[in-house]
Structure 1
């Protein structure tokens, strides 16, 4: 590991001669003008009124109930005493930042069919603010410009380039000169990623850049900078699936260079051998790409994961700042994506300056000192023929949870997950599923691996145990930590454990020496940024994932944060989450010195035994139930965990009325207004019947198991007393 770190820490080719430093970027002080706080999105505030000495007095100033039980991931924006933020599916809000009085709210008319193509909940990560307008993207990929004073629509742009694809939008727009830029999601489905730039004033499309080339058989590429990229793909690639590369987050405008720098997503399907059978680096997957904000032309790129096979997106938030590197003051980009490496890159030309591992990494051996490209370790991580345990796992060493950078201390603060997963696939190419999951890989996270091995075929389980990485799993299956890291060396200055691997909130740092973040358990935590020591912890009773921010109005400094559980794996609520015990009421919480107590949501009522379901329809056979089980896991399981305290309906506990209306709900869209899409273009009536038969069978098994727990005096959410073949 020491040798590996040494290789990765090498300074690569020297940059050109130092330039005269441009003026200092606007700091985040009284105003917090974009989700990242300042032009570089450092999420660091120069405010110093709240300090380590007085933070014990921190309490609630005001709160707003946003009327949702789904995830809240945005960081609010404050300018001129008004707070703007976004919520579920692209809702937008304006509040008096001092009193919490709601000034307006905007609820876009979202086509809820888009829920079928959203891997990770109805999230939205924020708004952009410019020229008296609020810019926000809805889940169904509509971009809105709203009047900042009234919330009325000024213009609307449809950003969907292909209505037949599973395109959605969950990121914050980015203002870049006279355009606003927005990306899209859906790489696991059937999407070819792209970013679009619209005129700030009119909403007219100015340029669009696809991150993946199209099928060369269709003729010249639809962007001149994709001709070279096409040569890095097999001409016989799975063009039908789209390729992925979706830039669903991490879009930064650099006013010093005039570049829009985007982070791109993973490949689709996951494994290179299926996506591009002849191999290749597959530009521009898992890359940082710098585009001219005026034209959309590529100025430089750095591919963090050539030929991605591991869902190693480069879409995690980046930070633009200045650092002294090798004796020179340089404009740099700090990026810690899923792949486990913390990068320092010159943002003028994309030259790699540092690359250090911050977690266990086995997908590569190191960095080629001549090219700056990673050296892929196929023996350790190529699962095209045999299962492999890959570090880090697909949840990523870092994910969407924003980090912060303090230019005074030179420290990078953020949540870090040191965990892997077993990856494997079935042989052969799978048929294309329009607006459906096309990732074609299975995985088991390392914290669950030992328990899951008995469920795998014996030869597979034996092969997994023989993998060198399996011994790492036995010693350390995975852990989440809040860390302070030196970006130039990758050295952890301090690390503090989080409660579980899903406990990975965004952070805020301040010039007074504070680090602020939330927890899945519902705590707002304030730490000493020098040591990681907890100075104040406030129980809010609501899970906090989003990054806090701070601002000042009429001489008073406030700290604000959005609170609600959700995101990747959102139906599965961990037992240590506040959402498990108290539900998931989405809230905006704002704090100040000498504020009051936070109202804690009441505990949820005790679980009840699953109700008795109707009898199976005549003609239902074990084969029918098996067919329904396959349909459930292919189409429904991504949203319905069938878990105690899930934030989506637990289909093991359907009431008689739901059973009676099952086909109307599933096929005809009776609950579309509630977010449940219709499936009549995917499922036939007979398949809906098979799906229903499986769920009835599952409910029977659940009820039997829970009645046994009652007789044994055990809680209903205790581990099952029996191994149920379909449970």
Structure 2
């Protein structure tokens, strides 16, 4: 701990040693100028008015309804008494930060066809504010520069390279000098990842950097680093699918080094042997790369998961700080990606300083400190030769939920998920599916493996049960916690269990030794940073996943957080979520000392038995229904969980009018304004009818099951095979 205090004292000296570069700000002050708070994105505040002695008096100062029902992942920004934030699909809002008065609201015109390529909800992770403008990216890949005073559009720029692909955008823009940098998403679909830099004043393209090479048959690569990367790919790779690598989050400008650090995404398709048959590191997948913001040229890279085989993205939030490492105070980046390790790298050159596991990791036995490469364990984790249970799961040991770094204690505090998944190849050749899922692997999380195996052929189940990791999966399927970790050792100093593996949230720390975070149960928690002791909890009735932030206006300290369930797996609302009992009306909640109670959303009405299904159309057979089931899980199930209380429609409960308009909804875009895209470029009328036949059959079975439950007094939303079949 003393080393971390000394590191803070050497702040000015470190800047001089770096050649006079601008020093990092250690913690946010009265304003919170970026989603990460300060230039290091530490999610830490220097404010101390709210502390352990008075936090019991924390209550609601004001709240704002956002009029949406999807996931909220943004951390607000406060500049000069105005709070700016973003929401569903790239909406933006401005409020008087003291009173909550709405100053303006902006809603982009979004092409909802993009919903077909968004794996993990219509979320947005924040805005950037600079030169009197608010920058926000819409879900379909347009950057908007809004007048910070009025919300009027000053310019808009299309940053999608190829709109025939599955590109989309959910991340926060990052201002780096005179450019605004933005990534994109869609690696599970058919994209070739890239980051784009736009001129702050005009929105014109300044440069674009691609994560992975293109097909060499198309000619030379766009940059020397891509020519070098090409040597790490099979010349006969699945270039048609794109390669993946989409940098959908984790873009940080470093004022000390003058570099932009970018975390890149997973490979597509998942399995290296399918993506690049002869193997290779497949640069620059699952890497941290440092780019010159003036030119887009790469300065250094560090690949955290060479030849990514497991959807182990490196897009998780980074933190910049200074640490005493081996007797030298260094400018470092702290990074905990999906793969289960917490890395410390020197920000100047990408040199690996530490890599410690924070969860169970059987894909690798460790990280070689000399080479920086993982020591792979193919016998445990190579699922291309047969099903494997891999730790951690594709959900990641860490994901997008921001962690915080407290310089006083030297603790890295964030949501950590220790869980695995069964992963196996799906049979048959897989031609390119344009703007469709091309991941070519199936996943079942360890809490569900034992039950799910009952639905597989006996020989498959026997093979899984013989895996060494199977007993480990049964013994401890999943542990979800907020953890305070010593980043130099990876050891947990304290931890607090969350409600379940889907309950993960972002974290705020303050100089008054407070750690603040929310839960999808709807509660906001305040703990003592040094010990983890619970000081305060507030029930809001609305799920919280986003990271809280804090600011000061007029001598009053406030804590604000966005509230709303969503993100990865968003159709599957856990029963412990406040969204399951009270719905998912999105809100911005702001607290202060002496504030009042949070108004609770009304409880949802009791679940009713599924309505009677219409008769099947003439000619529908068991084969028709089976075809429809395959088409449903190949195209529709990622959004439609067919689960009670889902935030997307439960298609087992369609009303007569929906059945009558089924073709128009699926093929003609009747409900596009509601976010339901049209599918006539992929699905034929016969395909749509087969899906409809499957859903009619499923609705009839669901109704019969629920009538039996009602008669026996069992809850209608109890576990059932119709839910399990979504695997």
Per the alignment, residue 541 of structure 1 pairs with 541
1:379 corresponds to: 379
* Counterpart position of 1:620: 620
What's the secondary structure of 2:624's corresponding residue?
helix
CA contact (8 A) 1:708 1:721 kept: no
Q: Using the alignment, how far apart are the partners of 2:19 and 2:146 within structure 1?
A: 39
**Residue number in structure 1 paired with 2:271:** 271
Q: How far apart are residue 636 of structure 1 and its match?
A: 0.4
Contact 1:333/1:344 (<8 A) preserved? yes
By how many angstroms is 1:370 displaced?
A: 2.8
Change in Cα spacing, 1:724 to 1:693, as seen in structure 2 (3 Å) is farther
Instruction: State the partner residue of 1:388.
Output: 388
Report the alpha carbon displacement of residue 223 of structure 1 after superposing the two structures with TM: 2.3
Partners of 1:672 and 1:115 in 2: CA distance: 10
Find the counterpart in structure 2 of residue 56 from structure 1.
56
Cα deviation code 1:326-348 (max 9, x no counterpart): 11110000000100000000000
Once superposed, which parts of structure 1, at least 4 consecutive aligned residues long, lie more than 6 Å away?
Answer: 721-727
* Counterparts of 1:603 and 1:84, CA distance in 2: 30
Asked if structure 2 preserves the Cα contact closer than 8 Å seen for 1:701 and 1:724, the reply is no
Corresponding residue of 1:4: none
Q: TM-score, normalised by structure 1?
A: 0.96
- Residue matched to 1:118: 118
Change (3 A) 1:306 1:593: same
Asked whether the equivalents of residues 69 and 584 of structure 1 are also in contact (C-alpha less than 8 Å), the reply is yes
1:25 aligns with 2:24: yes
Aligned runs of 1:327-338 on 2, under 5 Å? 327-338=327-338
Alpha-carbon distance change, 572 to 306 in structure 1, aligned in 2, over 3 angstroms: same
**Residues 694 and 237 of structure 1: CA distance in aligned 2, closer, same or farther (over 3 Å):** same
Instruction: Give the root-mean-square deviation of aligned CA atoms.
Output: 1.5
Alignment of 1:88-167 (within 5 A): 88-167=88-167
Query: Counterpart in 2 of 1:631?
Result: 631
| Aligned-partner Cα distance in 1 for 2:326–2:17 | 11
1:169-223 deviation line (CA, Å, top 9, x unaligned): 0000000011000000000000000000011111111100000100011110022
Structure 2, gaps ≥5 residues long: 1-15
**Which residue is equivalent to 1:7?**
none
Cα deviation, residue 453, structure 1: 1.6
1:721, distance to aligned residue in structure 2 (A): 8.7
Q: Deviations over 1:351-403 (max 9, x none)?
A: 00000000000111222233111121111110012001100000000000000
Q: How big is the shift at 1:23?
A: 5.8
Equivalence for 1:704: 704
Which deviates the most, 595-604 or 360-369? Answer: 360-369
Contact conserved, 1:44 with 1:510, CA < 8 A, in 2? yes
Cα pair 1:709 1:721 within 8 Å, conserved = no
Task: Report the Cα offset of residue 133 of structure 1.
Answer: 0.3
- Distance in 2 (CA, whole Å) between partners of 1:38 and 1:545 is 20
Structure 1 pair 725/193, CA: closer, same or farther in 2 (3 Å)?
closer
Q: How does 1:687-726 map to 2 (within 5 A)?
A: 687-720=687-720
Q: Give the distance between the partners of 2:726 and 2:148, measured in 1 at CA.
A: 52
Name 1:658's counterpart in structure 2. 658
Deviates more, 1:373-382 or 1:262-271: 373-382
* 2:21–2:255 Cα contact (<8 Å) kept: no
Indicate how the Cα distance of structure 1 residues 427 and 695 shifts in structure 2: closer, same or farther if over 3 A, else same: closer
In the other structure, the counterpart of 1:252 is 252
- Residues 281-320 of structure 1, C-alpha deviations (whole Å, 9 max, x = no match): 0000000000011110110000000000100000000001
Whether 1:225 aligns to 2:225 is: yes
Are the counterparts in 1 of residues 22 and 255 from structure 2 also a CA contact under 8 Å?
no
Deviation at 1:18, TM superposition (A): 6.9
Aligned to 2:13: none
Tell me, in whole angstroms, the C-alpha distance in 2 between the residues paired with 1:111 and 1:723: 31
**1:366 paired residue number:** 366
Give distance in 1, aligned partners of 2:153 and 2:634.
Answer: 38
Q: Distance in 2 between matches of 1:238 and 1:418?
A: 32
SS at match of 1:590: strand
Distance 2:583 2:654 in 1: 19
Structure 2 residue aligned with 1:204 = 204
User: Hey, what does 2:516 align to over in structure 1?
Assistant: 516
Structure 1 gap ranges (5+):
1-16
Structure 1 CA distance, aligned partners of 2:520 and 2:533? 19
Q: How many residues align?
A: 712
Shift of 1:725: 8.2
| Structure 2 contact 335–344 (Cα < 8 Å) conserved | yes
